[in-house]
Structure 1
Amino acid sequence: MTTVPLPSPRVISADQSAELLDGLTDAEAIDESNRCLYCYDAPCMQACPTHIDIPGFIRKINTGNTTGAARRILRDNFLGGTCARVCPVKELCEGACVLNATDKPISIGRLQRYAVDTAVEHMSTDAVIAPFIADTTDGARVLVVGSGPAGLSAAAHLAQKGHRVTVWERDELPGGLSSTGIIPLREPLDVALEEVDMVRSLGVEIELSREMGGMEELEAAAADFDAVFLATGLGAVPELRIPGADAIRDGLGYVRTAKLEPDLLPAAGHVVVIGAGNTAIDAATMARRSGAEATIVYRRTAAEMTAYEHEYQFALGEGINFRFLASPVEVTVDAAGNVTGLVCEEMELGEADGSGRRRPVATGNRTVIGCDLVVRAIGQEGYDGSRLPLDRGYIAVDDSFRIPGMSNIFAGGDAVRCSGTASTVMAVEDGKLAAAEIDTYLESAAMNAGGDNGRTDHNG
């Protein structure tokens, strides 16, 4: 068994709270918008999960109508400020830009950020969203559980339809992972909270520290409200059942501390992060920015990482080390309980498994990576044991986002993402589509009740 020595920490001078990219200036935004070809059948629109009218908002930027550009974005994606920052644009809209063949793609994400940020900066929230406020409010009451991207998106579109919307958020801070799970280098907290305020300004009531207690409370809510939309995301990061696991820190908790209370990050000389997705890279990035060495340990190779290629390249640029084909088997601690290292089994790749990726196979060789902090970022748990109908650990829904056997309970976002890639923009689109289905259901329920838009009897 070989041992990798503990490296000396190196102070990172870059501000760990500043965004990675500065916002575009007015002149830069005009210059970039001038490059757009305003394609009629724009492939960038087709590649955007929320189908924002990208040529339309860029043209408005080009003519100096920044507010109009922002409203064009918010019409299709009410969390346009967040998505402008965290969307994998290189794989989506910018990846589909026709200019990739001859030049470089339009900086769609940065233009979207410019439009939304500029409108919010120069106008009141009420003025920006004025066209989206419903003229009248009907009697239908909808409960949205969770104030992450799917919940806020659904709440915004339901409020625009004139429904009375209440959001329950179990955290003391609204916004879901946009507020607590995305490092400030990618999205500052104030951006997420500004979007929450925009949703509130539509007439949505948000109750914080309010958790859905269980199936009985869900059934009671379904009887009290005309419709319920579950946008609860997923659960905690799974535990690792290895010796010394009690000393491992949760990745989402580490990122939350880095974003909300960076002074409380545990001092460390070398942080080892287990996993190779977005949270793993975010945790390792904040470890580096706080002055520690950082190593990501992954049991497969770079080709099988769930993080995007550009995220991997970014991590390398941050000085993050990668130990591939290494599977953790033990966390070593000293007599005082302090972490001293992570023991890893060296792996090799075998045949493809059910995910389509080659399966890691143990070689029998072990390596010790010296470190003083270990963070696990190996995905999030599903809903095993829930009384809701499940599909591979996710809440089961039909094509209209309705939970089978529950007439007025719907779900969307990461909580239902049993296949495909979970992302902020997909959750936003789920919320928008689910809101349309809920609106159709409410209209039908009102018609069946003789035109009364008040609460209907869901129990027959």
Structure 2
Amino acid sequence: MTNSPLTPGIVPGRLPAETYCRNFADHEPPLDAHEARVAADRCYFCHDAPCITACPTSIDIPLFIRQIATGTAEVAAKTIWSQNILGGICARVCPTETLCEEACVREAAEGKPVEIGRLQRFATDKAMAKGLHPFARAAGTGKRIAVVGAGPAGLACAHRLAMHGHDVVIFERRPKAGGLNEYGIASYKATGGFAQKEVDWLLQIGGIEIRTGMELGRDISLDQLTSDFDAVFLGIGLAGVNALRAAGEDLSGVHNAVDFIAELRQAPDVATLPIGRDVVVIGGGMTAVDAAVQSKLLGAETVTIVYRRGQEKMSASGYEQEHAAQAGVRIIHNAAPVRVLGNGSAEAVEFAYTSDGPTGLTLSAETFTLKADQVFKAIGQTLTGAPGTLPVAGGKLAGASGKVWVGGDCAAGGEDLTVTAVAEGRDAAEAMHIQLMAL
């Protein structure tokens, strides 16, 4: 996403330098040692622990909180990492308010759950600061596995395979490893280059090689991988972006929200990123919220999210929607884009009100127009070069050679959550290990 001579209103540097520093500082400051002990003391340490069931990676949450309460945060971190090797980033980006914290008994009793996410961050940050990797590699097996995609699923899969003594080569199409964690989340959720620090820490296990700039279908083929390696894991994510299918979509000033977020994440100075005065974001998920909030933080005067269905169907959590509202973002429901208006560049977007009935979404004849010199599309992603997602049966790619597993967003039923991708990568690695050792 770059500035265009056709869109003079989209410019960088709208705010004073100190405002950018404040806006893109750590959104959720870490707990200090005293705060962590106080927060840990609120846990009931339930024997049936509904928080564990609600966690996609099944972390033993009461155990790690008890370990924090007894002053052994590094031990707590190992408890976390034994189930979720990317526990540090998940502590920052997980929608804990709809997962473990929503299931917390304190939430049901008092309306205020134990701060599980912040406690997880406290433990993992403290242990990572020591610089040591808590897991050792098993004796080499002589088996080689290809992992395509260095996102959460691929990294989790590779780490677990390496722990079992296998040699892993990760093929990643982008210049950096990390996937969604590096390119796809709001900058204020993972500051200080944390995503790359976590990748470097993870690689300390040994036995993992990452080859960047390697794309499946362009630089390597699935047939080649299944021939050269003992097993293959596909964690390629969803790189394609759905189209608006509305007139004017090709006007200057209309961008994919995922590209905007990626460019912002990689910008050495966020003040250099151009932003419009009036921004409209079309979509209802986390990508829409992240794009909208960061547009406001970059200095856009008005930012509006427009979602085609009702609030209850937005995939962005209630917490994130409230965060957007507090940042000054307006959210409009039950409206779909009809066309982007402008002479060469976007000037406004026309929407039609919608109704969501038994037969699907219906557009009414009643419309309204929002001024917009910049429009971000956040209406879902697809596999590059293919519709939908990869068909999976029992973690394996349906119809493949029996050597190919799939996980993360590219798999049918993918949830677009880092923590779910980690769980799928980890579980695929265990299944691959069992099969490889039986050969």
TM-score, normalising length: structure 2: 0.91
What is the aligned counterpart of 1:233 among 226, 232, 237?
Answer: 237
Q: Work out whether residues 172 and 209 of structure 1, in 8 Å CA contact, stay in contact via their aligned partners in 2.
A: yes
d(CA) in 2 for partners of 1:299 and 1:135? 51
Cα distance between partner residues in 2 of 1:305 and 1:150? 24
Unmatched segments (≥5 aa) in structure 2:
1-8
User: 1:304 deviation in Å?
Assistant: 1.9
3-state SS of paired residue (1:95): helix
Pick from 300, 304, 308 the counterpart of residue 295 of structure 1: 304
> Structure 1 residue 11: deviation in Å?
5.7
Instruction: Find out whether 1:424 has 2:428 as its counterpart.
Output: no
The Cα offsets for residues 135-166 of structure 1, whole Å up to 9 and x where unpaired, read as: 42220000100011100000010000010011
- The residue identity in structure 2 corresponding to 1:368 is T
Question: Is the partner of 1:81 in helix, strand or coil?
Answer: helix
Distance (Å, rounded) in 2 between the aligned partners of 1:442 and 1:271: 52
| Structure-1 separation of matches of 2:161 and 2:39 | 34
Amino acid paired to 2:263: T
Deviations 1:61-90 (A, max 9, x none): 111111111111111100001111111111
**Post-superposition offset of 1:266:** 2.1
Deviation at 1:206, TM superposition (A): 0.9
Matched, 1:165 2:159: no
1:27-106 correspondence runs (5 A) = 27-103=34-110, 104-106=112-114
Q: Which residue of 2 aligns with 1:152?
A: 155
Change (3 A) 1:333 1:379: same
Contact 1:384 1:393 in 2 (8 A): no
AA aligned to 1:50 is T
> What's the secondary structure of 1:413's corresponding residue?
coil
383 and 444 in structure 1: CA distance in 2 versus 1, 3 angstrom threshold = farther
SS at match of 1:328: strand
In structure 2, the residue matched to 1:413 is: 408
SS in 2 for 1:76: coil
Q: Which amino acid aligns with 1:378?
A: I
Kept in 1: contact 2:271–2:298 (CA 8 A): no
Alignment partners' CA distance in 2, 1:226 and 1:370: 55
RMSD of aligned alpha carbons: 2.0
Map 1:106-145; keep pairs closer than 5 Å.
106-121=114-129, 123-124=130-131, 127=132, 129-130=133-134, 132-145=135-148
> What does residue 329 of structure 1 align with?
338
Structure 1: which amino acid aligns with 2:308? R
Whether the 8 Å CA contact 2:396–2:402 is kept in 1: the answer is no
Amino acid at match of 2:128: V
Paired residue secondary structure (1:165): strand
Partner residue of 2:3? none
Structure with greater Cα Rg = 1
| 8 Å CA contact retained: 1:242, 1:329 | yes
For residues 228-285 of structure 1, what are the alpha-carbon distances to aligned partners after superposition, in whole Å with 9 as ceiling and x for unaligned? 1000011221122322211310110111122221234223111100111100000000
- Kindly state the Cα deviation for residue 189 of structure 1 after the two structures are TM-superposed: 5.9
How is 1:225-304 mapped onto 2 (pairs within 5 angstroms)? Answer: 225-247=229-251, 248-261=254-267, 262-292=270-300, 293-304=302-313
Match of 1:249, SS?
strand
Query: Given the two structures, how large is their TM-score scaled by the length of structure 1?
Result: 0.87
Q: 1:281 to 1:245 in 2, by over 3 A?
A: same
Correspondent of 2:430 among 436, 456, 459: 436
